[in-house]
Amino acid sequence: MGSDGQLVFIDFEFSMPERQKVPKDFHPEIIETGVVVVNGGKVIDTFSCYIKPVFFPRLTNRCKRFLSITQADVDGGRSFKEMHDYFTSLDQLGVKEVVTWGNMDMKVLRDSCSRLGIAFPFHARFVDLSMEYKRFFGDQNQTGLWKAVQEYGREGVGKHHKALDDAMTTQHIYHLVEKDKKYLEKAEPTTIGDRIDLSKFYNQLA
């Protein structure tokens, strides 16, 4: 994580339809973005704002309740283009990895760019940290972001379903997993001498 490129941690919150009334043409849009940029192990930038939805500008009651968000929040937000410009500027500076929890964030970003006729802003490697976590710990099921943090014995950062807080929580887990991977790579098997010493210790306890 040195000068070979930045790590960009992203979390989006999306619009959602009412359960019983899903319009035929409905698709989720980004309505809040949280970004943490890390270089050399240090946070060098954060970006957080509400985003005005383009195709379905009115939020549903379900969406407002679930995300604790208001119509005024998104009406006063930035445009998708402003967020896209920020991502493009990051990409131009050099991004090693874009890290998200789950694959939905990049899918919706890609879909939105396609619908708006603009280029996808990133050329980096994508990391779905939830799958890395699953592989690393051998979990049968995909773990939720905040459950993963609690399994690590920590609390999440800030408030769940706030984009910047979730992006920062993703960053914390990434560094914890990377640290554990390095530890496992360096861990050496116990020698015969260690085992003999341990057996003496156990005998003393018997």
Q: With 80 as the cut, is the pLDDT of residue 104 above it?
A: yes
In the CATH scheme, what is the code of domain 6-205? 3.30.420.10
Given the residues 13, 29, 32, 97, the one annotated as active site: 13
Find residue 6's DSSP bridge partners.
95
Q: Look at residues 129, 159, 157, 145 and name the one whose alpha carbon lies nearest to residue 66.
A: 159
Q: DSSP letter at 78? A: B
Structure tokens at 140: 């049968």
What integer pLDDT is reported at residue 65 of this predicted model? 94
Report residue 21's pLDDT band, with 50, 70 and 90 as the boundaries: confident
The domains of the chain are located at 6-205
Structure tokens at 75: 């009406």
What integer pLDDT is reported at residue 134 of this predicted model? 76
Q: Look at residues 34, 1, 52, 48 and name the one whose alpha carbon lies nearest to residue 101.
A: 34
Annotated active-site residue 123? The verdict is no
Annotated active-site residue 161? The verdict is yes
Residue whose structure tokens are 């920590």: 154
Given the residues 132, 161, 175, 178, the one annotated as active site: 161
Find residue 97's DSSP bridge partners.
7, 125
Report residue 198's pLDDT band, with 50, 70 and 90 as the boundaries: very low
